[in-house]
Structure formats: C-alpha cells, structure tokens
Amino acid sequence: MAANIGGTSCDYVRGDVTPLRERVETWVVPGLDSVGAMLLGQNEGQAAVVATKLNTVGACNTWIETLEAMIGTVVTIENDLGENNAACLITGLGVPEKTAAYQPGTSKTLKVEMEVRFVILA
C-alpha cells in the first residue's frame, strides 16, 4: 500500500476516502410542532484528508507545489489503509505545517503536513 494523492507519493494520508453517502436534511418551521426531513441522495461528497511528507526541504517544497497544481483536477486518493477513490475533485489545501524532522542515517530533514480538501464525485 502506497499512500498517494493523484500519483504523488505521500508518507501518510490520514482520512476517509470512501464513496458517497446519502444525506438527510432536516428543518423546523416556526409555529409548527414537528420537524421536516428530506432524503437528498448521495451528495454528501465533501471530505478532507491530511497528507504528510518526510524529506529534504527542497523535496518537500516541490511536493507542496505539486499538490497545489492539482487544485481543480479529478484525481485518485489512496490513504494509509489502502482505501482509494478515483473520483476526487481537489477543491483546496490547508496551510502547510512544516516541522524539523531529523532522521539519523537519512537525508530527511523536514516533515510537512497539509490538509487536502476534495469533493467525491462518484
């Protein structure tokens, strides 16, 4: 299992990428003694995952730019558990959180975590 977003390798991708779920909308009408409800079908598609990359500063900056270039495109997202969805429209990214992450014996000196927001289309 290789966590990735649109084919871009990630060390970790935490979050749910399962298909659409049915959504129920409820409302209250002032003056009436009841609650209304309506089943709206499978359109609860907004989701987010947290992607993590451990590498050199330059490689992490390139990784951020690659993810930024995916905004507005439909990609496959695969999380740490091997769950994937091939119909994810990337709608935005969170602010990259950079932390020093020295690992003896490797060139990995930076850890970047970033939220990836998307809409599941199917």
36-46 residue pLDDT tens:
888 776 666 78
Task: Specify the pLDDT at position 42.
Answer: 67
Task: Specify the pLDDT at position 73.
Answer: 96
Helix (H, G, I), strand (E, B) or coil at 122: coil
Task: Specify the pLDDT at position 117.
Answer: 95
**Global pTM value:** 0.79
Task: Specify the pLDDT at position 44.
Answer: 63
Tokens of 113: 């975590």
The pLDDT profile of the chain, 122 residues, written as one tens digit per residue, is 589 999 999 999 998 887 767 778 888 888 777 888 887 766 667 889 999 999 999 999 999 999 999 999 999 999 999 888 888 999 999 999 999 987 777 787 899 999 999 988 87
Task: Report the alpha-carbon distance of residue 35 to residue 42 in Å, rounded.
Answer: 22
Task: Specify the pLDDT at position 120.
Answer: 86
Task: Report the alpha-carbon distance of residue 110 to residue 98 in Å, rounded.
Answer: 7
